[in-house]
Amino acid sequence: MDDDIRLLEQTQPSDGDQIGSPRSGTDKDHPADVIIYHLFKLDPIYVIISHLIKLKNAMDKPSEKPLTKNEVMKAEKPDLSGTIRETLANPAADRFSGDDEQFIKFHGIYQQDDRDKRKVAKEYSVMVRTRQTGGIVPAAQYLVYDELSGRFANGTLRITSRQTFQFHGVAQQGVGSLIKSINEALSSTLATCGDVNRNVTAPSNPPVDEVTQQIEDDAFTVTRALLPKTTAYHSIWVDGVQLDLGLGDKIAKARASVDQTNPYLPPPADHDDSGAPVDLLYGKTYLPRKFKTGFALPPNNDVDIFTNDMGYVAIVEGGKLVGYNLLVGGGLGMSHGNKATYPRLADVIGFLTREQVVAVGEAVIKIHRDWGDRTDRKHARIKYVLQEKGVEWFRAELAKQLGAALPAAKPFQFKGQGDAFGWAQQRDGNWFLGLFIETGRVKDAGDYRLKTALRVIAERFSPTFRLTATQNLILSDVKAADKAALEQVLRDHGCAIVFNPGLVKGRGMACPALPTCGLSLAESERVFPTILGKLEDAQAAAGFGGEELVVRMTGCPNGCARPYNAEIGFVGKAPGKYNLMLGGNREGTRLARLFKESVPADEIPVVVGALFQQYAKERKNGQAFGDWVDQASVWPVAPSA
């Protein structure tokens, strides 16, 4: 048989030949051609085999897919400047367009428009995202943000699932002044979006001992080491924008609150032989896709560490921080209908000491830089490198980068995630207060005047604002004598819910979605409180009202609010319809699975309510809903082959 196949390979028609006729050309009368001609005419099996051989040969050839447009753009403009300066200088421009829509992401900006108004006309704006390692925002810096959100954005501040602030609805004419002022207040927007390492998350609670202080310090060390070294950012937004907004006093206080040094200034760029600046870590084309890093301290997985591209899990022995376990390869984004994309939790790679945090971080970045897929942005995260090449391959490649393999990881265990609400004492004797912020939106709405309350608190008590990875807020460094007065400010402004939201609202999370996000397929933030309320009613009807439940919602499959490892996740599929994900756990260490596609929003309480009823009857003592549903006989039976 093998000999026959080889003969057929030697005699099969070329790509330009017609099946069923002798080959054209000078040797058309060759006896072999006559034989082949008759075989094609008389034996259809030969034709089939010939086609199979050609198909096999085509599949054996290495794929030479072209680079994505983004890769070409980055190579042509490695300083990431695009034509941003020219657009800012044009008073008639109402948006960034063309390649600049991609370049501005590296500067912390997304081009958006108000989708509620599209039927009339597109009303363009941008979203601007700050950098706040571990979610830390000094009170004086917060007051600058509060002022800027009213002057240049839609009057609100949005806490993100990665411990940053977002300004929504920023008009084109205000973006320069906004970013310049953020930098003057000693923060930054550099690399909070784009194909680079983004905001570094870390435990939200303020230091209560030496270990937690060291973790916070290491998070800032990694932040600075992994910043891109482009000079265009400061040239455009800091040096290139002239303004006097009358914020001199607020800016001065913000600068004083962070010791006069911006912790988000990148290290100086290296230079090539011609003297041109170069970035030895990222190169000219940076990473194939976004990269997210976090720090976690067991047993509380409050940053969802397994969902990060790279995670540092603190290892404490004898009350001392001895180092970290390295996690690599997490990421939740996917695309509907594209089986080559999927959510994934990170793998545990090995153990490193505190002295290695930068070297290991840079090594992981380089592996993503060199091995990530630059031909398909939907398949470009480092999670696909881990999944397709394997953990052992990655360990070996990391060892090449470091010059030695990492030791085996040390044991650790997470017992839960989420934020604690109420008062707790810090290491220095001061106090901190955990507050529930519904869907992360700091706003004034009717009698609920949270934005005003937080402004008053910042002015009177100067606490440190700490943004959590579940879109909530911690006010730290509060003196014992100020606790009651601070609480009263919140109550006086109609914000009593921030103290005790319950274990469903307090664990819930939703992305902004409509009307600002251009990727959203369905509502999220605007409908989530209503849906969550109906699920609480369904809990009560089933007899377990008020019990902890991790519910998350996104308007598209990119997973910004991390629905893919929630006990219950809703992922927007179309207007008013959601894919229902079930079976993640409260520890954040297991992925949910697709239970039902395209569930109409008004049917969600019915579908989930029926599961609640069954759960109440079948659960073991203390068994969480996510753990029960993961094993229960409720899953649709797969069709037989």
Write down the catalytic residue from 105, 383, 507, 517.
517
Write down the catalytic residue from 131, 290, 366, 455.
290
Write down the catalytic residue from 77, 105, 129, 180.
129
Asked whether residue 480 is domain-assigned, the answer is: no
Please report the DSSP string for 435-499 in residue order.
E--GGGEE-EETTEEHHHHHHHHHHHH-PEEEE-TTS-EEEEEE-GGGHHHHHHHHHHTT-GGGT
pLDDT at position 306: 98
Asked whether residue 235 is domain-assigned, the answer is: yes
Write down the catalytic residue from 180, 374, 441, 560.
560
pLDDT at position 639: 64
User: Domain check: are 242 and 365 in the same one?
Assistant: yes
User: Domain check: are 44 and 102 in the same one?
Assistant: no
393, pLDDT greater than 90: yes
Give residue 363's Cα distance to chain centre: 21
Q: Retrieve residue 186's tokens.
A: 């000693």
pLDDT at position 20: 33
pLDDT at position 274: 82
Does residue 290 have an active-site annotation? yes
- Show which of 402, 426, 455 is a domain's final residue: 402
Distance CA 74, CA 288 (A): 10
User: Domain check: are 29 and 114 in the same one?
Assistant: no
Confidence of residue 247 (pLDDT cuts 50, 70, 90): confident
User: Domain check: are 205 and 128 in the same one?
Assistant: yes
Taking residues 618-638, report their average pLDDT. Answer: 95
User: Domain check: are 47 and 152 in the same one?
Assistant: no
- Show which of 378, 402, 426 is a domain's final residue: 402
Asked whether residue 33 is domain-assigned, the answer is: yes
| CA dist 484 → 206, 437, 451, 461, 481 (Å) | 20, 20, 19, 12, 7
Write down the catalytic residue from 292, 383, 451, 552.
292
**Choice between 64 and 444, residue whose per-residue pLDDT is larger:** 444
Handedness of CA 623, 625, 627, 628 (dihedral sign): positive
Confidence of residue 53 (pLDDT cuts 50, 70, 90): low
Write down the catalytic residue from 105, 556, 562, 586.
556
**Choice between 455 and 636, residue whose per-residue pLDDT is larger:** 455
pLDDT at position 580: 98
Taking residues 203-207, report their average pLDDT. Answer: 94
Q: What is the pTM of this model?
A: 0.89
Asked whether residue 471 is domain-assigned, the answer is: no
Does residue 65 have an active-site annotation? no
Does residue 495 have an active-site annotation? no
CA distance from start to end of the chain? 31
430, pLDDT greater than 90: yes
- Which residues on adjacent β-strands are paired with residue 422? 434
| CA dist 28 → 31, 50, 641 (Å) | 9, 19, 48
pLDDT at position 600: 98
Element at 200 (helix H, strand E): strand 197-201
Asked whether residue 272 is domain-assigned, the answer is: yes
Among 41-45, 110-114, 568-572, 601-605, the least confident range: 41-45
173, pLDDT greater than 60: yes
Q: Give the residue numbers spanning the domain of 597.
A: 509-631
- Do the Cβ atoms of 14 and 23 come closer than 8 Å? yes
pLDDT at position 45: 55
- Do the Cβ atoms of 458 and 146 come closer than 8 Å? yes
Q: What single letter denotes the amino acid at residue 630?
A: D
Asked whether residue 50 is domain-assigned, the answer is: yes
- Do the Cβ atoms of 11 and 27 come closer than 8 Å? no
Q: What residues have CB less than 8 Å from 375, skipping those under 6 apart? A: 65, 66, 67, 68
Asked whether residue 469 is domain-assigned, the answer is: no
User: Domain check: are 614 and 562 in the same one?
Assistant: yes
User: Domain check: are 88 and 195 in the same one?
Assistant: yes
Distance CA 338, CA 526 (A): 28
28, pLDDT greater than 70: no
- Which residues on adjacent β-strands are paired with residue 465? 137, 475
| CA dist 165 → 129, 472, 572, 574 (Å) | 6, 11, 23, 28
Does residue 511 have an active-site annotation? yes
pLDDT in tens, 271-320: 888 877 889 999 999 999 999 999 999 999 999 999 999 999 999 999 99
- Do the Cβ atoms of 47 and 254 come closer than 8 Å? no
pLDDT at position 231: 87
User: Domain check: are 45 and 107 in the same one?
Assistant: no
- Show which of 338, 371, 402 is a domain's final residue: 402
- Do the Cβ atoms of 103 and 73 come closer than 8 Å? yes
Confidence of residue 261 (pLDDT cuts 50, 70, 90): confident
Provide the CATH number for the domain around residue 542: 3.30.413.10
User: Domain check: are 51 and 187 in the same one?
Assistant: no
- Residue written as token pair 């995630």: 417
User: Domain check: are 145 and 293 in the same one?
Assistant: yes
Write down the catalytic residue from 105, 374, 505, 511.
511
User: Domain check: are 29 and 78 in the same one?
Assistant: no
- The domain tally of the chain equals 3
User: Domain check: are 120 and 190 in the same one?
Assistant: yes
Per cent of the chain over pLDDT 70 is 89
33, pLDDT greater than 50: no
pLDDT at position 271: 83
Confidence of residue 17 (pLDDT cuts 50, 70, 90): very low
**Choice between 27 and 159, residue whose per-residue pLDDT is larger:** 159
pLDDT in tens, 174-203: 999 999 999 999 999 999 999 999 999 999
Q: What is the mean pLDDT of the chain?
A: 90
pLDDT in tens, 529-560: 999 999 999 999 999 999 999 999 999 999 99
pLDDT at position 169: 97
Asked whether residue 238 is domain-assigned, the answer is: yes
